[in-house]
Chain A
């Protein structure tokens, strides 16, 4: 049977990818963030999953405003890296996990999550930057196959935080019912607090971020109970991306172990964070 072995919460700011692509991670601006990643990267390299479910949002690259799926999933054999207007990131094409994708679609639709299905999709920085956070030097191929899971966080009304958490719980059940013996990682991406537009642009809320980083492990129900308005007010208009962390959290066990966390301001206009959780430590204990 398949199992979720770990969950990673991570920002997906495009400039984090650009810093890796351009070899500037040692610059004074970026070094604190990438130093913060290092222990998590080492741990993940020793616990390589077979497949990863990456919960993210597109930013006007693979999807436009013709169709705004609240939740969507990719079922393709592979996903091209999107050209966002400055050329494709120099990272490998993303290998899909179509059998797991189709299993998830069946299980989730039966549970009442009527996902939109992408049979073709270009994946943007929302997905590839978290993969680079996990694996900075993939070489010719990423170390695992990927199921892209998209959440609309751009156009109101976004799904509620509670619905995201419930979707994650259903994903956890679906993974556990997958017959193949595969190890699955779940990525919850985006955040932390940031706001790109309006007179409040540049807003950062370190107190809220600190609360969120703690509660995502210990009290996700509290985060699931926050309204859209509270997310936008407390984390900024783009900080609502944090609801995607709850999908990851829902897919994990009630008891999880924190492997590592890092928090740094700024990555461009954003408070950037990473939090890595082991889903199996409690079983081993």
Chain B
């Protein structure tokens, strides 16, 4: 059995995208990266499961993508900068994602930022 190195510190409500996480999410993040390209977006949209399989996503990751379960994508090794490529393709903003992660609507999240941000974290 190898030694599993966990991220070196743990902060509540905060992802530390470390090497183990990056290994876990590698194929999924690789797939998200391709979505910068219009041709890749068209192929993805034509058959999402096939595109996910082509990149070797795990069944859990495929399900998270199919469900647009943004929280699960991060839990399964997604990096926010890569997951965001899929969100952008769907016409979703980073404020929308912020709302998803914090249990707010996009409008509530935007309002919280305009009021100075969530300063009590």
Residues of A within 8 A of B (CB): 29, 59-61, 64-66, 68, 82-86, 154-157, 193, 195-206, 228-229, 232-233, 236-237, 265-266, 268-269, 271
- CB-based nearest B residue for A14: B94
- CB-based nearest B residue for A267: B113
Residues of A within 8 Å of B113, CB to CB, are: 202, 204, 265-266, 268-269
Residues of A within 8 Å of B74, CB to CB, are: 197-198
Q: Which of A65, A86, A197, A199 contacts B97 (CB 8 A)?
A: A197
Chain B positions 9 through 28: 1 when the CB is less than 8 Å from some CB of chain A, otherwise 0: 10111111111001000100
B55-101 interface (Cβ within 8 A of A) = 74, 79-82, 84-85, 88-89, 93-95, 97-98, 101
- CB-based nearest B residue for A268: B94
Distance, CA A259 to CA B60, complexed state (A): 52
Residues of B within 8 Å of A196, CB to CB, are: 80, 94, 97-98
A-B contact count (CB 8 A): 137
Tell whether, in the assembled complex, residue A201 and residue B98 are in contact, meaning their CB atoms are under 8 Å apart: yes
27 inter-chain pairs at a CB distance below 8 angstroms, sorted by A residue, are: A60-B32, A60-B81, A60-B82, A61-B36, A65-B30, A84-B36, A85-B85, A85-B88, A154-B81, A155-B79, A157-B18, A196-B80, A196-B97, A197-B97, A198-B101, A199-B102, A201-B13, A201-B102, A201-B118, A202-B109, A203-B118, A203-B121, A204-B116, A206-B116, A206-B119, A232-B9, A266-B114
B112 within 8 A of A: yes
Residues of B within 8 A of A (CB): 7-9, 11-19, 22, 26, 29-30, 32-33, 35-37, 74, 79-82, 84-85, 88-89, 93-95, 97-98, 101-102, 109, 112-114, 116-119, 121
Distance, CA A16 to CA B85, complexed state (A): 18
Inter-chain pairs besides A60-B29, A65-B82, A197-B15, 11 sampled, C-beta below 8 Å? A29-B114, A68-B22, A155-B79, A196-B98, A198-B13, A201-B13, A206-B119, A232-B16, A265-B117, A268-B95, A269-B113
Closest approach, in angstroms, between the C-beta of A110 and any C-beta of chain B? Answer: 29
Q: Which of B19, B32, B97, B121 contacts A200 (CB 8 A)?
A: B121
Residues of A within 8 Å of B117, CB to CB, are: 193, 202-204, 206, 265-266, 271
Q: Which of B9, B35, B37, B102 contacts A229 (CB 8 A)?
A: B9
Residues of B within 8 Å of A193, CB to CB, are: 117
Q: Which of B17, B33, B37, B97 contacts A155 (CB 8 A)?
A: B17
Closest approach, in angstroms, between the C-beta of A213 and any C-beta of chain B? Answer: 16
Tell whether, in the assembled complex, residue A156 and residue B14 are in contact, meaning their CB atoms are under 8 Å apart: no
Residues of B within 8 Å of A269, CB to CB, are: 94-95, 98, 113
- CB-based nearest A residue for B16: A156
Closest approach, in angstroms, between the C-beta of B118 and any C-beta of chain A? Answer: 4
